[in-house]
Amino acid sequence: MSHSHNIKVPSLDGLLSTCSEAGLRKTKALVSGLKVLASAKHPLTLHQIAKSPIFDVECDPATIYRLVTKLEEHRIVRRIGFHSRAAHYCLREGNHQDYLICRDCGSIEVLDIACPVEHLEEQIASDCGYSDLEHELEFYGRCGTCK
C-alpha cells in the first residue's frame, strides 16, 4: 500500500538552509538526523532515528529528543502521535501523506490514495479565514500479520 509517486524528496542542502534560517546550528547530529528523515519512506520513532545506520554520530537519547523537538518547533518536522504508541516523526517538506496503522503492532503504511479531504481542507481554510491549514488522516485496523 505504500507509494513512491507524488512524494517530493527534500534535498539536504535545502533542509540545512531552512534550519539555518530558523536559527538552528549546523551540528553533526542535525545533519545526521535530517539525512535519516529525508531518506525515510515512512514516519520514524526517535529510537528508529537513533538506530538508523545513516545516523552516524554518537548521541544520547535526550540529545536526539531535543534535536527532533527543535525541528518540530520550527515546523521542519511533523510529530505524528499515534495515540498509545510512541510518537513518530517525518519531514514536513514534500507532499501530504495519509496513514494506515495497526492497532496491535503499531506498523505504519503510507496510503496510496488520493486524499479524500484535501478539498474540504481548502474549503475550511477559505470559509474560516485560516492560512497554513493542515490535517492528518489516520486509519486504524489490524495488519495482515496481526490478524
pLDDT, position 103: 81
pLDDT, tens only, 64-95? 999 999 999 998 998 876 666 678 788 887 65
Cell of 36: 535519516
The type of residue at 27 is T
pLDDT at 23 over 90: yes
Confidence of residue 4 (pLDDT cuts 50, 70, 90): very low
Instruction: State pLDDT tens for residues 82-137.
Output: 666 678 788 887 657 788 888 888 788 888 888 888 888 889 989 999 988 888 78
Q: What's the CATH code, domain 12-141?
A: 1.10.10.10
> Distance of CA 100 to CAs 77, 97, 111, 133, 141, Å?
20, 10, 6, 22, 7
pLDDT band at residue 1 using 50, 70 and 90 as cut-offs:
very low
Q: What predicted TM-score, i.e. pTM, was given to this entire model?
A: 0.72
